[in-house]
Amino acid sequence: MVRIDGYLLGNRQTEAGEHGDALGPLFDSTTFRHLEGFGIGPGWQCWEVGAGGTSVVSWLAKKVGPTGRVVATGLDTSGLAPAARPPVEVRAHDVGADEPPGEDFDLVHARVVLSHLPDHERALRSMVEALRPGGRLLVEDVDPALQPLLCLDEYGPEQQLANRLRRGVHTLLADRGADLSYGRRLPRLLREAGLRRVAADAYFPVASPACAALESATIRETRDDLVTAGLAADQDIDRHLANVNAGGLDLAAAPMISAWGRKA
């Protein structure tokens, strides 16, 4: 996760690291399933865009082996240090502004990146340009507007508070330019970018311990912004965090939409 302009969830804070760590248990299995379906193997050249952690990068490195290459990029690459050894190359890079780090990639992947960029169209074009003919692009992004609730079963005050704070976080994200309905447009955007054999699916965690970890990190990271904007009081946030930590809430994550296609 990266901070672009007013992006709410920057990756320099402790909670942002925890936020990124929670994404892995929730969504890595879905990501890896798609990448396995592409036939990834030794010798592949891969670009991991906006990498905030090491789980996907390390998985790719094992798949491509010593004859392959994994270029992991982001604005802040400090969290990638543990993976920065061959075949992994770590580079500071702004996908929305810089030229792509090559044009011969077999695979380009980005997860929860494009919806937060001010110029996601340029970023997507850059990712397509970086593919060799026949190369694969996998873009994954959440769609909070498609399912905006944190607690689907809003049967009591704890669940009502959780959903009110979730609406507050979404308000902050939208105010900072995040596109909360970006995920659903991915198939069309990939086709318009010239990719072939475009397909997509979605994964929607309804109740998971990883959802609780993600929610705790998100709320602690956005706490000051929520209070300053008048969207929540400190006591509301303290009560919600206690409810989350108690483990009695069935917390859902926004649907993660995965879309993929092949360059002609």
Say what the pLDDT of residue 16 is.
53
Residue 254 included in any domain: yes
pLDDT tens figures, 2-38: 333 334 455 445 555 566 677 888 999 999 999 999 9
Task: Report how far Cα 130 is from the mean position of its chain's Cα atoms.
Answer: 20
Residue 73 included in any domain: yes
The CATH number linked to 252 is: 3.40.50.150
**Is residue 170 within 8 Å of 150, Cβ to Cβ?**
no
Cα end-to-end distance, the chain, whole Å:
30
> Which structural domain range is residue 54 located in?
15-263
How far apart (Å, rounded) are the C-alpha atoms in residues 65 and 226? 45
What's the number of domains the chain is made of? 1
pTM beyond 0.75, yes or no? yes
Residue 246 included in any domain: yes
How far apart (Å, rounded) are the C-alpha atoms in residues 195 and 68? 24
Residue 125 included in any domain: yes
**Is residue 216 within 8 Å of 244, Cβ to Cβ?**
yes
Strands, sheet with 131-142, edge to edge from the N-terminal-most edge strand: 88-92, 69-74, 45-49, 105-111, 131-142, 256-262, 196-203
Residue 89 included in any domain: yes
Residue 203 included in any domain: yes
Residues of the chain with pLDDT below 50 are 1-8, 11-12
Q: Which residues of 199-231 are buried (b: 16+ CB within 10 A; e: fewer)?
A: ebebbebeebebbbbbbbbbbbbbbebbeeeeb
Say what the pLDDT of residue 7 is.
43
Residue 2 included in any domain: no
Residue 51 included in any domain: yes
Say what the pLDDT of residue 14 is.
52
Say what the pLDDT of residue 118 is.
87
